[in-house]
């Protein structure tokens, strides 16, 4: 895709002004890093507060008395009993239980749900919603209307509370309408870095003013996609299209925790989502492969796509995400391995440029998460 064809977020001119190195990502021209550099941006997000432009993500509003019930037919998650002012992690599944996308769902009250879906999947997600539940509720894409900013790190609450003191009372996964600089925004206390922080949905025309106001605070630096990726990897968080896809079920992806108890086989509203039978069968009888954390025992970074082998050199899996963890102080990876090799501290090897690099199966997150739970 040529640069002319790439979409631009409402903050594009600001990124260029700040000296960002821009790269194509999910059809958008996005900042991969700023002059500070990926390592320092990563560490700044862990120590202070980082501002990320995630406006390429898709925001969708569902309204109507049947919206929650309708959405439940597409996700293995409890939406009906999701409290007003809370959001929940969810997944769209297909007929075999494969993951079409992962998303966040918030209950705004008054029969209104707010969804945030992945950038590369947003058009197909919208079509999926319209096809399956379009007659049951109103589906409104907000792709052009709203921008999305993420303010992440231990100082995020101090910074945002200067603009709206009430955010200090919010806890992890709470969601609220908040006025920032006199503009109505949706704010959730959540994020993708493992740190405390907020995601802020703001009308597109007001995004730059808000971003500039946040960047003017002494604790805040602009952070690009490079550090976003190393932060989420240290937090053990999946990236759609890399760590899960339509060929991967929630059980294989080690996301059983995300299937709400009422929707499980023994739950009050068991099943009722695409692929439920397959997912329940896997939950009961196990799977042949599973996503695990992997710690290289040498300094060699192990990248996505590297084959994983056992002692005998037989291929037992592959790496789905990998790189260097600045906070961890070493390389780290996630991968899918045959179930016989999923126990913690199991030794396996990755093939990197024809050489065997030893790995240990590791618990995740690699760096402790610091979400604010009150």
pLDDT over 90 percentage in the chain: 99
At the topology level, CATH places domain 3-56+144-234 in Gyrase A; domain 2 (3.30.1360)
Q: Tell me the DSSP string of 206-273.
A: GHHHHHHHHHTSTTEEE--HHHHHHHHHHTT---BTTTB-TT--TTTTT-GGGS-GGGSTTSTT---S
Instruction: Give the model confidence (pLDDT) of 55-111 as tens digits.
Output: 999 999 999 999 999 999 999 999 999 999 999 999 999 999 999 999 999 999 999
Residue 307 phi, psi dihedral angles, 5° rounding: -75, 145
| Average pLDDT of span 162-191 | 98
| Residue 275 tokens, joined | 């692929």
CATH number assigned to the domain with residue range 288-374, chosen from the 4 options 3.40.50.360, 2.40.30.110, 3.30.2130.10, 2.120.10.90: 2.40.30.110
Which of 153, 150, 148 is closest to 51 using CA atoms? 150
Condensed to tens digits (0 to 9), the pLDDT of residues 121-152 reads 999 999 999 999 999 999 999 999 999 999 99
Q: Is 256 exposed, middle or buried (0-12, 13-18, 19+ CB in 10 A)?
A: middle
Q: Which two tokens stand for residue 369?
A: 């998460």
Integer Cα distance of 148 and 11 in angstroms:
10
**Which tens digit of pLDDT belongs to each residue from 292-301?**
999 999 999 9
DSSP code per residue over 84-150: TTBEEEEEEE-TTS-EEEEEEEEEEETTEEEEEE-GGGHHHHHHHHHHHHTTTSEEEE-TTTEEEEE
CATH 3.30.1360.120 domain position(s) in the chain: 3-56+144-234
pLDDT at site 3: 59
Backbone φ and ψ of 46, nearest 5°: -80, -30
Q: Is 364 in a helix, a strand, or coil?
A: coil
pTM of the predicted structure, to 2 decimals: 0.97
For range 273-286, the mean pLDDT: 98
Compute φ and ψ for 343, nearest 5 degrees: -65, 145
Q: Where in the chain is the domain with CATH 2.40.30.110?
A: 288-374
Residue 1 pLDDT grade (very low, low, confident, very high; cuts 50, 70, 90): low
Q: Which residues pair with 107 in a beta bridge?
A: 113
């Amino acid at each position: 895709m040529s640069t002319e064809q790439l979409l631009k977020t409402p903050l594009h001119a600001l990124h260029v002004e700040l000296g960002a190195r821009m790269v194509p990502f999910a059809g958008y021209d996005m900042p991969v890093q700023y002059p500070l550099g990926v390592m320092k941006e990563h560490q700044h997000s862990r120590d202070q507060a980082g501002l990320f432009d995630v406006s390429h993500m898709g925001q969708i509003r569902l309204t109507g008395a049947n919206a929650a019930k309708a959405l439940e037919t597409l996700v293995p998650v409890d939406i009906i009993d999701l409290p007003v002012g809370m959001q929940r992690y969810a997944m769209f599944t297909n007929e075999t239980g494969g993951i079409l996308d992962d998303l966040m769902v918030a209950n705004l009250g008054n029969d209104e749900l707010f969804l945030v879906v992945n950038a590369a999947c947003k058009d197909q997600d919208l079509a999926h919603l319209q096809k399956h539940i379009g007659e049951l509720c109103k589906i409104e894409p907000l792709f052009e209307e709203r921008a999305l900013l993420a303010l992440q790190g231990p100082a995020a609450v101090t910074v945002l509370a200067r603009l709206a003191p009430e955010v200090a009372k919010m806890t992890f996964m709470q969601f609220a309408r908040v006025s920032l600089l006199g503009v109505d925004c949706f704010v959730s206390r959540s994020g993708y870095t493992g740190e405390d922080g907020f995601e802020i949905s703001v009308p597109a025309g007001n995004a730059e003013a808000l971003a500039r106001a946040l960047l003017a605070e002494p604790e805040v630096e602009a952070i690009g996609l490079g550090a976003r990726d190393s932060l989420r990897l240290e937090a053990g968080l999946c990236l759609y299209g890399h760590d899960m896809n339509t060929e991967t079920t929630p059980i294989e992806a080690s996301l059983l925790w995300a299937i709400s108890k009422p929707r499980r086989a023994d739950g009050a509203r068991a099943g009722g989502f695409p692929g439920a039978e397959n997912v329940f069968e896997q939950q009961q009888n196990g799977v042949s492969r599973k996503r695990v954390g992997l710690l290289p025992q040498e300094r060699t970074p192990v990248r996505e796509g590297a084959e994983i082998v056992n002692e005998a050199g037989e291929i037992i899996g592959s790496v789905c995400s990998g790189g260097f963890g600045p906070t961890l102080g070493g390389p780290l990876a996630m991968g899918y391995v045959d179930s016989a090799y999923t126990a913690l501290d199991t030794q396996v090897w990755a093939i990197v440029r024809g050489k065997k690099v030893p790995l240990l199966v590791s618990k995740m997150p690699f760096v402790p998460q610091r979400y604010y739970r009150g």
